[in-house]
């Protein structure tokens, strides 16, 4: 079964409720998606401000981290992607930026989940 949606609201409010029992990289990707959506909302308020450029750096860094680097071959480095989108003066502020850590799902696994019910 494949589910496809481009509507962020549907993904975050309807689809996400069915994935409360996912763990590991998939769960963390959903948490990152929620963070990206929140940051995009903040950027849309004032897209030309210096703060919006800094938020864009965070968004690009989060999206770049969706797939672990160990499992993918990247044509462009994160720095190259950032330089293509963000002015150099803003990139200087990125020097101290570190990707936030995301915790795995702590929701207990149920027998129904294990048996696929």
Q: Does 5 fall in a domain?
A: no
User: What is the domain range of residue 90?
Assistant: 21-98
User: Is the confidence at residue 89, as pLDDT, over 60?
Assistant: no
Q: Does 29 fall in a domain?
A: yes
Q: Does 115 fall in a domain?
A: no
**Containing H/E element for 41?**
helix 25-45
Q: Does 69 fall in a domain?
A: yes
Average pLDDT over residues 85-111: 68
* pLDDT tens figures, 39-78: 888 888 887 777 777 788 888 888 888 866 556 677 777 7
Q: Does 79 fall in a domain?
A: yes
Q: Does 52 fall in a domain?
A: yes
Q: State the alpha helices, DSSP H only, in 48-114.
A: 50-64, 78-85, 88-91, 111-114
Q: Whole-model pTM?
A: 0.69
Q: Which residues make Cβ contacts (< 8 Å) with residue 32, sequence separation at least 6?
A: 62, 63, 65, 66, 102
* Domain count along the chain: 1
Residue 31, classified by CB atoms within 10 Å of its CB into exposed (0-12), middle (13-18) or buried (19+), is middle
Mean pLDDT of the chain: 75
Q: Does 25 fall in a domain?
A: yes
Q: Does 111 fall in a domain?
A: no
**Containing H/E element for 113?**
helix 111-114
Q: Give, in order, the Cα–Cα distances in Å from 112 to each of 86, 105, 116, 117.
A: 47, 17, 6, 5
Of 106 and 68, the structure prediction assigns the larger pLDDT to: 106
Name the pLDDT band for 100 (thresholds 50, 70, 90): confident
């Amino acid at each position: 079964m494949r589910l496809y949606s481009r509507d962020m609201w549907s993904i975050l409010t309807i689809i996400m409720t069915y994935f409360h029992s996912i763990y590991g990289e998939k769960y963390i990707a959903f948490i990152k998606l929620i963070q990206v959506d929140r940051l995009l909302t903040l950027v849309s308020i004032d897209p030309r401000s210096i703060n919006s450029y800094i938020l864009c750096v965070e968004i690009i860094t989060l999206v770049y981290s969706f797939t672990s680097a160990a499992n993918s071959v990247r044509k462009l480095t994160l720095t190259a992607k950032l330089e293509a989108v963000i002015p150099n003066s803003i990139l200087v502020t990125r020097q101290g930026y570190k990707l936030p850590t995301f915790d795995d799902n702590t929701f207990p696994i149920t027998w129904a989940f294990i048996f696929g019910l």
